């Protein structure tokens, strides 16, 4: 009887081990499939997403979130204009100027434009690389 019991325990452990291996294999396959999809996104999709993420991080790191509200990133700032829907209005702010050009110039030369209700000369001039400005512009003009 003891021999049959040992044999049954061994069989149960073997089945459990096989089930665990199967579950881990399926989980690994799912992770690899997700990673493959992320790697093979179209370049424009990947660039936009990467710029938006790095732009959001820069927005916080450079202190922009201390003055500007952006939904999901900085919720309670009120010194500067709310930038949540900037993509909807930036292209119409200055005749003949694209949204990208407007936001870029607003970052590079903060005194170039003033939004009604907000004081001129309040926003400081930041030393930013072209890549940082591009990331911030990508983030600010992304759909939210």
Retrieve residue 110's tokens. Answer: 């903060």
Quote the pLDDT of residue 140: 94
Angstrom distance (rounded) from CA 73 to CA 56:
7
52: nearest Cα among 141, 130, 129, 128: 141
- Average pLDDT, stretch 70-89? 88
The pLDDT tens digits for 122-132 are: 899 999 999 99
- Average pLDDT, stretch 33-51? 47
């Amino acid at each position: 009887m003891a021999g049959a019991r040992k044999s049954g325990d061994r069989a149960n452990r073997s089945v459990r081990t096989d089930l665990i291996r199967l579950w881990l294999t399926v989980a690994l396959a799912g992770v690899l499939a997700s990673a493959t999809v992320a790697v093979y996104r179209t370049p424009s999709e990947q660039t936009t997403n990467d710029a938006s993420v790095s732009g959001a991080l820069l927005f916080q790191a450079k202190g922009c979130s201390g003055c500007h509200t952006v939904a999901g990133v900085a919720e309670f700032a009120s010194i500067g204009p709310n930038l949540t829907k900037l993509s909807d209005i930036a292209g119409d702010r200055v005749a003949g100027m694209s949204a990208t050009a407007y936001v870029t110039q607003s970052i590079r030369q903060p005194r170039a434009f003033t939004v009604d209700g907000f004081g001129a000369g309040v926003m400081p001039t930041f030393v930013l690389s072209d890549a940082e400005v591009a990331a911030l512009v990508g983030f600010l003009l992304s759909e939210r």
